[in-house]
Amino acid sequence: MKHLIPEFERMKRRLPPGHDATLLLPCLRRIQEDRGYIAGDDIDGLVAYLGVPRIQVEEVLSFYGMLRREPIGRWHLQVCHNVSCSMRGAERLLDHLSGRLGIQPGETTPDRRFTLSTVECLGSCGTAPVVMVNEAYHENLDAADLDALLERLD
């Protein structure tokens, strides 16, 4: 994480002084964006950089659904299965995806290309169903759209 410190310092400029722990979540997010997950040495680095107890970093890490301690597949497919998406076909979409990839939600394909997850409401109810592929929302999907999308993900 050390190479990210100049970025963290820039973030600090818009924060009130004396509240460095506020950077904890932004730093964790940035580290994960950079290396794909948060490793033990990242936690050591944050403890030293922010001056927060290690237990605090662990507590924050384990609290948020988007943060992870292990690497996942290259493409993270997150299918929303909350109310509005389910009313527009999300459950069929999830079955289709699971069948095509040969994995269940929570699993990664053996070639580490895809990880499949379910996720709760993404705020895309008017364009349901939605699948989040890494950071990007893909909305108003049906099985054919999804197949075409999978072809584009190497």
Partner 1 sequence: MTGRKVLTGFEITADSHTLAAYRARGGYEALARALETMQPEDVTQEIVDSGIQGRGGAAFPAGRKWQGIDPHDGQPHYLIANADEGEPGTFKDRWVLEHDPHALLESMLLGSYALGVRHAFVYIRGEYDRPWRRLDAAVEEAYAEGLFGENILGSGFSCDLFVFRGAGAYVCGEASSLLGSIEGTRAWPRNRPPRMTVRGLYQAPTVVNNVETIASVAWIIRNGAQAFREIGTEKSPGTRLISISGHIRYPGVYEVELGYSWTKFLHEDCGGLLCNKALKAVIPGGISSQVLTGMDAKVLTPGEVEGMTLDHEVLRAAGSSLGSGGMIVIAAGTCMVRLLQIMLRFYRHESCGQCTPCREGTGWMHRIIDRIVAGDGRPEDIGTLYHIARFNDGTTICGLGDAAGYAAIAMLDNFRDEFDHYIEHGHSKFGGNLECQ
In the complex, which residues of this chain contact partner 1 (CB under 8 A)? 11, 13-16, 19, 21-26, 28-29, 50, 52, 56, 59-60, 63-67, 81-84, 86-89, 91-92, 119-128, 132, 135-137
Q: How far is the CB of 79 from partner 1 (least distance, A)?
A: 13
Q: How far is the CB of 64 from partner 1 (least distance, A)?
A: 4
Bridge-partner residues for 32, per DSSP?
Answer: none
Consecutive H or E run containing 118: strand 114-119
Give whichever of 56 and 109 is closer to partner 1, judged by the CB atom: 56
Give whichever of 82 and 115 is closer to partner 1, judged by the CB atom: 82
Q: How far is the CB of 132 from partner 1 (least distance, A)?
A: 7
Give whichever of 71 and 123 is closer to partner 1, judged by the CB atom: 123
Bridge-partner residues for 118, per DSSP?
Answer: 79
Distance CA 120, CA 80 (A): 5
3-state SS class at 115: strand
Q: How far is the CB of 88 from partner 1 (least distance, A)?
A: 7
Give whichever of 50 and 150 is closer to partner 1, judged by the CB atom: 50
Helix ranges (H only) for the chain are: 5-12, 24-35, 40-50, 54-63, 83-86, 90-101, 143-152
Distance CA 1, CA 113 (A): 25
